Structure formats: structure tokens, C-alpha cells
Structure 1
Amino acid sequence: MSTEVKITAARMHRVRMPLVHEFQTSSHRKKFLDHILVELEDACGAVGWGEIASPSDPYYAPETVETCWNIAERYLLPAVIGQGWDRPEQVSQLWAKVRGNQFAKAGVDVAAWVLWSTIQGVSLADALGGTRTEVTAGVSLGIEPTIDDLLAEVERQTAAGYPRVKLKIAPGWDVEPVRAVRSAYPDLDLHVDANGIYTEDDALRALDEFGLTMIEQPFAPRDLLAHARLQQAISTPICLDESIETVADLDTAVSLGALEVLNIKVSRMGGLTAARAAHDRAQQVGIPVWCGGMHEFGIGRAVNVAVSSLPGFTLPSDVSASEKYYARDIVEPAVVAVEGVVQVPEATGLGHKVDIELIAANTVATLSL
């Protein structure tokens, strides 16, 4: 069935949710998150939900919650209201003149995909072309006050059945924490994520001895030549995250030999349309991919599960259970992992019911167009 979709109303909700465990990266520490939820409604009353999962501060990427709200209100939502389209891939063409602002775009693009799959009566995974019925999940652990605290967190997550653990690292918190975890867990699928904080003068090569699955984003996003030089010097695969916002970025990085693994984040790449295109190109050039996360609420988490059902996602993805981050999530049922495995929803659209009351109770700003 193919039916033209015309969005007649759009709403945004800035929602604040506390984390069950504070999370520290190389740049900052988080106790709670503000994300923007996007609602798109068509003429028949069907609704699609998306999530703008940008950080609050411009450390991971240039965008913040405030910039995303501004761009969505002034440019993205006005571009889609009243415009007809047949496929969700066409929606991003409506704001083609807007450069960058990938997080803001992602929330609207995702809402369009969820709306379309709901109208079509198919699951989001099926709409994307997913082939898996379950997804292997990994967990991401922040920088802890002590190595003992870190080992306790690793124990907690491996006991929960997660087969892969990612450690955030920074200069001064790298070799010794990794050594301790590897010594305690010699067979664990373990990798590290620097969020671009290192320079080539830092002792990253010392991590090559620990049998890591990958070293993720050691250098600044645009410093692809440094990544290529490090990849030539070590056997551990380099994974790029912040460096890859477009398929053109991926092509450049592949040509330079700057990566052997790609982290696809729906939010960072501007939505499901771009994420699927990056997945397809990575498959063509033989680069394995996995889905990274931004501590999404249940809407974004369910979307990550759906995209991880695509065939090229061969490594564990950051789609851990809702309970790892939130005491109560904004979708029902919450995303659940059993022995590190998450089931891909078969229900239409998002595959989860959105908890309107919980959203309202945690909303700090709203907008209707």
C-alpha cells in the first residue's frame, strides 16, 4: 500500500529524565538528560514520534538542546507541515538547504519513518529492510572515580549477560583501567572510546597489547590523517564515530585507511534515512558496523534496535535495556535485554506504546505548530 502522507501538525516536548547512574566521558559528567521529543501528525490523526538526542553542551558535537530546538522550530518543522510525500526518504529533501544540524534533523526524520510505518501497518524494522529478529547488545561504561568502582560496574553488567563492554577513556584514565579489566576478564569483548580527546603525542599505542575489539574515535573528528597513521601502526581496529556524519565522510575515511569499523549513530548522521545509507555503503566496502547510542529515552532506543536489525550490523550495538539508564522509561514495554539480547519489535510503527503521562510529568518546554 502506498499513500501520500501530509503532516498537518507538529509538536516538540523538551523532556528531562534523571539517570540511575551518573555517567562521565572525557569531557563532562551527566546526572540527567534533556532530550527533545518530536510528534508529527497527519491528516488522518496518525502520529509518529522521534527523539532529538543531542547533548546539552557542545562537547560531543556542536549542537545543543537549545540549537536543536531553534533549528527544528524555525526551519525543519515548517518545511514538512503541509507537504505531501510517499516515502520517508523524501522528507529530508524538504529541508535540503539546511546544512549540518544533524541531531535536529534526526528527530524529525525518525518521526517521519515511525509515522509512515504506522500508516503502512508494518514494523519500523521491516520498513527499513531489517532481517534480524533479535539484536546483541553491549554496554558503555563511563569514567569511574576508581578502578575498583569500574570493576564493580563491569561485574554488574557482565552478570546481567552483556557480552560486550565499552570503556570511556581519557588521558590519565586509559592503560591502567584497561589493564585491570582485561586481567579480570581475559575473554571479554572489550573496546574503548576516547571521544576524540587524544593527540598523536599520547600513548595510545600502549593499548594495542590488550586484545581490544576496537579503539573508538581517538582523535578529533576532522583529523582523519592521524587516524590513518595510528591504524597503520597498530593491529587493533580503529572505529570512527564523530568523524562520520555523511556517506561522503565515510568514503573519505575508507580511502585514507582511517578506519576498520564504523559506529553508526542515527542521531549523529541526521536520522534513519542517512543511517541506512551509511550502512549500505559500509556493506559495499566491507566495513563492519554497529549502532552507537546517545543515552536515548525509549523512543530513540527502540529506533536503534530497529536499525540494528539491518544485516550489516554484525557487532554488538549500544541498545542495552532501558533500566540501565532510567528507573522508568517513556515507552511501554520498556526496552529489555535478556542475557544481552534485545528482541526486535514486530508491532507496527515504533513497536512500543509511548507513555504520554510520563512525558507530560517530565516536560520542561513544549511547542505546537
Structure 2
Amino acid sequence: MNEVTEAMHGFAEWYGRQPIGVWSAPGRVNLIGEHTDYNDGFVFPFAIDQRTAVALGDRDDRVIRVASGFAPDAVEIHLEELAPDAISGWSAYPLGVAWALGELGADLEHVRGVDLYVASSVPVGAGLSSSAAIESAVALALDEHWGLGFDRPTLAKVGQLAENRVVGAPTGIMDQSASLLGEADGGVFLDCRSLDADVIPLGFTADGLSLLVIDTKVEHAHASGGYAARRASCEAGARAMGVESLRDVRHDDLGRAAELLDDETFRRVRHVVTEDQRVLDTVRTLREQGPGAIGPFLDASHVSMRDDFEISVPELDLAVATAQAHGAIGARMTGGGFGGSAIALMIDDLVPVVTREVLAAFAERGYREPSVFVVHPSQGARRDA
């Protein structure tokens, strides 16, 4: 049963009637550009073929009720009571979106409540943005059902606002943008300052390449300290350099940064500055030479995250090194770090080899068995039924 069918069945079981529609949105893999988004930099994610679906039914009152297959109870709240401090737990994602729509200009005084049921095939805690998939599916569903008329870049802002203010995770806008703007075989090249987005053909299938995800099963939580501490370091570095954000620091400025900043802050800054350049280099190389030539940028990105930004963990390092040792074109950890997943780009024939070797390497170290699977660049959020 796929997530759309599961959402329809779950809705009928919970609410005793059929939904009037089902919307879905994908998780994402960030091909390159980590921790650059909240520094006004560049990112290059793509939507994947694991999705979250939201079934919606109308109500004749002003209550929003949400249920899902991954929580024992439904949560409900009156539209007038929606506020960041009134929402908690998993329901903060869908209910936070409803609140954020109002904050960004939707007139919620004249809309009726809804019943929602959420079903998902996006792995939670894997760094594949299961949270943005929920937010984007709910945002698209409510926008259409309530006739709000928001465009997709605005809906991405809605999801980010919900994540920042209601969930309490200080994330940038990359994940929601990938989920809402993604296209089949395309990566979303996003300028996080201007929010200009170009979909760049990836060409993996045409070149006989697969992107393997290695979910280490080391769970992370972005609302906790490591992510927030990295963001604070970046903001401190920008202040010391006298710029609005690290987007404005050039590679040539790193010598001055080394003199101005303590060692840790300097390394945080160096990661962001060099990672921005790697995104630009990856997009240029894709256009000029194709996906088989981007491996060195993926490899260098991982080294930078491991050594300068210090967000990798031994399991991620092992996954990357094992993939590289067995023929991957390039490999890196992906997502916010402190756990989650690594990605490896390789020719199709190597997928079973690398999968086998990664599983063996994790077993030999006594690590928890990872989940290893291929993802395909896929269409963004849509209405399914």
C-alpha cells in the first residue's frame, strides 16, 4: 500500500467517511550545500520518491483535527487557539502550517475546520526531511482547500516558519523548497538570499548512475543543541567579519577571517564559504560535463563537514569511506548532521556491491544495521486524489 492509499484508508478508519482529497509531498536528498541555506547561500537538493500524503475532509465548525498512523491519538484545536505555544509533539508540523498560513497573510477568520490524516514513507530521523514533506503536503492541501492562492515559494516560507517558530528548529528554507519545487530528474538550485530557483537536469538515469542513500539509523533532532550551535557560530562569524551573512564572505577573505576569528569559528566560516563554492562548481560541472564528473565536490564536502563544521559521526564517516573504497564516484553525509544519512553516487552495477560492503563494514564495527536504498529525483508536492 503506498502512502496515498494509506492516507485514504486511514482517514476513512479514523473519521468514518471518505476524504475529499489527498495531497502528497516528497522528502529530499541534499546533493550538496549543507548549512549554507541559513547563511543566505546556495543549495542543490532534489525531491525523492519517498513521500508523505495528507488526506483532507471538510468540517462544519472551526476545529482542525489531525491523526496519523505513527501516533496513537488524534489532536484537535480550534482555529482561534492556534499559536506556537499551544501546539506540541508531532502535530506541531501540520498544525504549525495552519498557523503559519495566517501569519503570512491568509484570512483564516472565514474558513471552516478540517480533518487531516497523515501517512508517510519518508524515513524519520534519516536526514531526508520527513518534516518538510509533512509541512509541504499540508500547506498545499490547505492552500487549495481554503482557496488561499499562495504560490509555491510562499508555501515554502510557510513550512519554514512553522518549523522555526512552532517546532522550534532553526532551519533554513531549503527542505521545503525542494519538496515543493522538485521535478523528475531535476535538482533544485536555490539561491537562499533571493529565493530564485532553477531546476537543473541531473541526468543520473541517462548516464547509468544511481544515488544510494545509507541511513545510519543514528537519529538526530534539529531542535536540539548541535544545529543551533552551528548556526550561532555562523552568525558570530558574520558579525565579526562585518557582513550581513556568510554569503558575503569570499574565498579571498578567509585569510582575514583566520586573523579575526577564534579557530573554531573560523573553521565553521570556512566550511560555509567553501561549501557555497562547491554548490556553484557542482551545478556548472553538471551542465558542462554531466553527473559523472561531480564526485570530487561531494567528497570534498564531506571532509569539510567532518573536519571544519564537525557535524559528522563515525557511522557516517564509515558509510562514506566504504562507498568510496568500492568505486563510488563521490560520497558525503547529507542533511543537518549528527546522524542521519550518507549518499553515494555510483554506476548502477555497483549498487549491490556497495550495499553489501556497507552492511558488512557496519556489522564488523558493531554498529546498528543501516538501511540502504536507491532514491530517484522525483516530482514535488502535488494533488493525488
**Same fold (TM > 0.5):** no
Q: Please give the range of the TM-score, normalised by the shorter of the 2 chains.
A: under 0.3
TM-score for the superposition, normalised by structure 2: 0.27
Q: TM-score, normalised by structure 1?
A: 0.28
- Identify, as 1 or 2, the structure richer in helix: 2
